[in-house]
Amino acid sequence: MTRASRARRLATAAAYGGGGLGLVGAGLATLLRQEARLARRRVESRTAKADPPTGEGRYGHHRGKQIVLAVLGDSSAVGLGVDRAERTPGVLVASALAEVAERPVRLVKVAVSGARSADLAGQVERVLPHRPDVAMIMIGANDVTSRSKPALAVRDLAAAVRSLRETGCEVVVGTCPDLGTIRPVQQPLRTLGRRWSRQLAAAQTMAVVAEGGRTVSLGSLLGPQFASDRTMFSSDEFHPSAAGYAAAAACLLPSVADALGVWPASADRGARGLRRDTVRPIARAAASAAGRPGTEVQPASVDGSDAGPRGPWALLRRRRPQELPEATPATETSGATDR
């Protein structure tokens, strides 16, 4: 079975109520459970006990209409593992977006450490009163580590994206990270973790694009880099360090800005611009993105048609990560609907 067909199977299961990543033998299942318990104990014993400051507030000193950036998801969206707000991905993207757009950006963060895709509905409900212009979602790792049914996880993510898009909010999803890079996890669980996380990332892409959102592959971008560079992890060797979150933010920023129409075309030209820009059937695009560094996938059309013989069209954009400006402290804002 190809990566594209696996992604299509998971996404189809999400639509019709099936779902599963396959069965393993009883002996292997017992071994995997033991390895998972040992890895979880090691990670939990070294994980920061408190989330970093939220960093919510207004960024940038520009005039003009305020952009509201909402951050949803799990501990990776929270920034667990760093101790300062300006090192979290939401603040990094908000500060850089203000400079790119030359407009003030208000950051609203409803992400919760430990969240799974099933928790996104509650996060969406909390963020909608703020009327976000763009939402950045980072989700998936806890769905894999808790062995949630992937079809249900994909369905929950799709529902969240749909609810946000119905309000006119742009959505950018950082897909499931590559759990095969986690050092406390031993073989064969590490290999299975990589396979499961990539399959989930591909299925997430198909579901998000179908709802009119965009995805950015964080797993394939950070995986090789994290595997070879321990400085990309925090002390628990599970969550990213400040350098790791900066790498993720640099990957997400172009897609967030482009979704709002404020990403300069000049940034995608030359050696530091787009690596590749191609249109493919969505299943092939999703499978390719899951294994290629920093790939963005968004809806596309060919000759005026949104779909071809093999399903909907999708545009793959492989941008090079951008150097982010130093994050600035937030300014207090007033009112949930202050625009």
Q: Among the options 51, 74, 75, 133, which is catalytic? A: 75
236 is known as an active-site residue: yes
Measured CA to CA in angstroms, residue 12 lies from 17, 78, 152, 178, 207 at distances of 8, 30, 11, 22, 9
Distance CA 181, CA 63 (A): 43
Two structure tokens written together for 149: 């049914």
Indicate the DSSP class of residue 64.
S
Q: Among the options 239, 255, 258, 288, which is catalytic? A: 239
117 is known as an active-site residue: no
Residue 332's closest CA among 55, 129, 62? 55
Distance CA 182, CA 254 (A): 27
Buried b (16+ CB within 10 A) or exposed e, 170-190: bbbbbbbbbbbbbbbbeeebb
* Residue 172 near residue 214, CB atoms below 8 Å: yes
Two structure tokens written together for 292: 């290629």
75 is known as an active-site residue: yes
Q: Among the options 51, 119, 156, 236, which is catalytic? A: 236
Measured CA to CA in angstroms, residue 44 lies from 18, 38, 48, 178, 238 at distances of 32, 10, 8, 19, 9
The conformational region for residue 129 under phi > 0 = left, psi -120 to 50 = alpha, else beta, is: alpha
Helix (H, G, I), strand (E, B) or coil at 226: helix
CA atoms within a 13 Å half-sphere pointing along the CA-CB vector of 64: 13
The H or E element that residue 309 is part of is none
Q: Name the residues annotated as catalytic.
A: 75, 236, 239
